[in-house]
Amino acid sequence: MTLVASEAVPFAKTGGLGDVVGAIPRALSRLGVNVTVVLPAYPPCFQQPHEDTGKSITILMGDKPRKARLLRATFPGGLGELVLIDQPDLYQRSGIYGDPSGADYPDNCERFAFLCRAAFEALDVLDLPVDCLHAHDWQGGLVPAYLRHLYGDHPRFRHAGSLFTIHNAVFQGIFPKGQWRHLGLGESLFSRGNLDYHDQICFLKGGILESAIVTAVSERYAKEIQGPEFGCGMDPFLRDRAHARRLVGIVNGIDVEHWDPAMDAALPSVFDRKRWRKGKSECKRALLRELGLPEVPGRPLLGMVGRLTEQKGLDLFVGGAESLMHLNAQYVVLGTGEERYRSFFSRLMAEYPERVAARFAFDEGLAHRIYAGSDMFLMPSRFEPCGLSQLYGLRYGSVPVVHAVGGLVDTVCPVTPRNLANHKATGFSFQQFTAEAFVRCLRRATQAFADKKLWSSLVERGMREDWSWENSARHYLETYKSAKEHRLLELGARSS
């Protein structure tokens, strides 16, 4: 199996995409499948063990030929391999998608078109078998188009199936059509409409239309993106694909070895689902100390880790700030992102230094300590394709409080009288995306925190749940198989 993506833990990560692409190879390897991930060689990749294959590729896209060295690396534990595309002009930069100010690099069209094209050339030069090509998000969006239109008759790729996974339909890879020359595809493909979106190039649309099968990262999100509210303009194409039974929802899992409160080296104290009270309260005490927040017995600590963007529902925090500061709660926020949210949390922290601690950095260790040391994990996302953080929250005994949307619906069973009676509830959720509903939900959650028996049952149930990759990896395997069958049928139809 071959994955093409712009992130893969531990080589590159800005969010959930990196976690997922880093975890699939391990999960598939355990099922006996050989996996190779093709990834750009960003600066942090060179800190991981790797070797130079001594081979290179040269691709003419646009006006100049670009050469790339091919490096090989292995995922930890030898579970899955990588091909790293070392093209310093395109990938030796401080960020993956843009500079620290948040501005996208102006040549992202060329950078990720090159990645998709380089994947084919590299797999061929390195003589690697290709069964199915699995491309991720808009950065991998040209892979299915290249497979169909440039490499469809190439013996190595002729029988390969193609799968395209949407991790977030908001990010679409839209560029002026003047940049078409970077794609190395004939002009007629643009006018035929496959990659053309309102007279611009759209990588995401290309991935949706040209792949054998499209997947989204939860069943709920696979439905939501067929409608105008969450489809972000892609909904008509996604509806078509769904009618043709070519759109599938496969919920993400988590890497339960990397995210294990019983083994986590980032934590001051470890714990497991059977004995969690002592370890978790030591983690909480240490975290409060690290953040400079006072310890107040009986007061829950509410954590948030994530991109500080509109998607993550921060406007509900802004709108409800006054009421939130009157709840019996303390808050810790870790994130990078938009200036307006950073200044909001800075102000809140200055005004309520005993209640709020915010850190604006990408800090993996602190993220782990927040999952372990907080009592609740907040995800009031406006939309959420799957969300991994709530799964980490569940595994680390931090009860999720979520907006009932996307993957959050598929993964958090809300506290209701019925779900409590059936011993199913694992978190709190609210339906309407308003500050009032968010505050009401948090009020309920903080009151429930005072009920020790109820709280313990929530924590324990969440920690017991199995969100490992195994089931989803099997689902991907089946889907690879049908993507390949579609390809064989297509070839059969062509030759008959």
H or E element that contains 347: helix 339-351
Q: Which range, of 38-46, 261-269, 363-371, 439-447, touches ligand ADP by CB under 6 A?
A: 363-371
Contact between residue 79 and residue 28 where contact means Cβ atoms under 8 Å apart: no
CB of 155 vs ligand ADP, minimal distance in Å? 37
| CA atoms lying within 13 Å on the CB side of residue 401 | 26
Which one of 2, 11, 12, 16 is in contact with ligand ADP (CB under 6 A)? 16
Contact between residue 198 and residue 191 where contact means Cβ atoms under 8 Å apart: no
CB of 411 vs ligand ADP, minimal distance in Å? 11
How far apart are alpha carbons 257 and 58 in whole angstroms?
A: 39
How far apart are alpha carbons 26 and 234 in whole angstroms?
A: 31
H or E element that contains 121: helix 108-125
Instruction: Draw the binding track, 62-91, toward ligand ADP (x: CB under 6 A; -: no contact).
Output: ------------------------------
334 binds ligand ADP (CB under 6 A): yes
- Number of other CB atoms surrounding residue 448 within 10 Å: 18
CB of 258 vs ligand ADP, minimal distance in Å? 10
Contact between residue 404 and residue 430 where contact means Cβ atoms under 8 Å apart: yes
406 binds ligand ADP (CB under 6 A): no
Which residues is 141 bridged to in the sheet?
none
Residue closer to ligand ADP (CB basis): 307 or 486? 307
Which one of 7, 19, 137, 264 is in contact with ligand ADP (CB under 6 A)? 19
Instruction: Sort 155 into a burial class: Cβ within 10 Å, 0-12 / 13-18 / 19+.
Output: exposed
307 binds ligand ADP (CB under 6 A): yes
CB of 168 vs ligand ADP, minimal distance in Å? 6
Query: Taking CB positions, which residue lies at the least distance from ligand ADP?
Result: 16
As given in the structure block, the two tokens for residue 235 are 């909904």
Q: Which range, of 55-63, 142-150, 266-274, 356-364, touches ligand ADP by CB under 6 A?
A: 356-364
184 binds ligand ADP (CB under 6 A): no
Q: How far is CA 99 from CA 69, 106, 108, 365, 421, in A?
A: 24, 10, 12, 23, 50
Q: According to the 3-state scheme, what is the secondary structure of 387-453?
A: CCHHHHHHHCCCEEEEECCHHHHHHCCECCHHHHHCCCCCEEEECCCCHHHHHHHHHHHHHHHCCHH
364 binds ligand ADP (CB under 6 A): yes
Residue closer to ligand ADP (CB basis): 251 or 388? 388
306 binds ligand ADP (CB under 6 A): yes
How far apart are alpha carbons 380 and 359 in whole angstroms?
A: 19
From the list 9, 57, 35, the residue with the least C-alpha distance to 128 is 35
Q: Which range, of 224-232, 328-336, 341-349, 470-478, touches ligand ADP by CB under 6 A?
A: 328-336
Which residues is 51 bridged to in the sheet?
72
Instruction: Draw the binding track, 34-63, toward ligand ADP (x: CB under 6 A; -: no contact).
Output: ------------------------------
Lookup result for tokens 């769904």: 242
363 binds ligand ADP (CB under 6 A): yes
Q: Which range, of 114-122, 135-143, 261-269, 302-310, touches ligand ADP by CB under 6 A?
A: 302-310
Q: Which range, of 40-48, 169-177, 232-240, 357-365, touches ligand ADP by CB under 6 A?
A: 357-365
96 binds ligand ADP (CB under 6 A): no
Instruction: Sort 56 into a burial class: Cβ within 10 Å, 0-12 / 13-18 / 19+.
Output: middle
Which one of 37, 270, 283, 305 is in contact with ligand ADP (CB under 6 A)? 305
303 binds ligand ADP (CB under 6 A): no
Residue closer to ligand ADP (CB basis): 16 or 141? 16
CB of 370 vs ligand ADP, minimal distance in Å? 8
Which residues is 304 bridged to in the sheet?
333
Q: Which range, of 13-21, 39-47, 122-130, 137-145, touches ligand ADP by CB under 6 A?
A: 13-21
279 binds ligand ADP (CB under 6 A): no
Residue closer to ligand ADP (CB basis): 369 or 461? 369
Instruction: Sort 240 into a burial class: Cβ within 10 Å, 0-12 / 13-18 / 19+.
Output: middle
Contact between residue 384 and residue 407 where contact means Cβ atoms under 8 Å apart: yes
Which residues from 367-396 bind ligand ADP, rule CB under 6 A? Answer: 367, 387-389
335 binds ligand ADP (CB under 6 A): yes
Number of residues lying near ligand ADP (CB under 6 A)? 17
Site residues (CB under 6 A) for ligand ADP?
Answer: 15-17, 19, 305-307, 334-336, 362-364, 367, 387-389
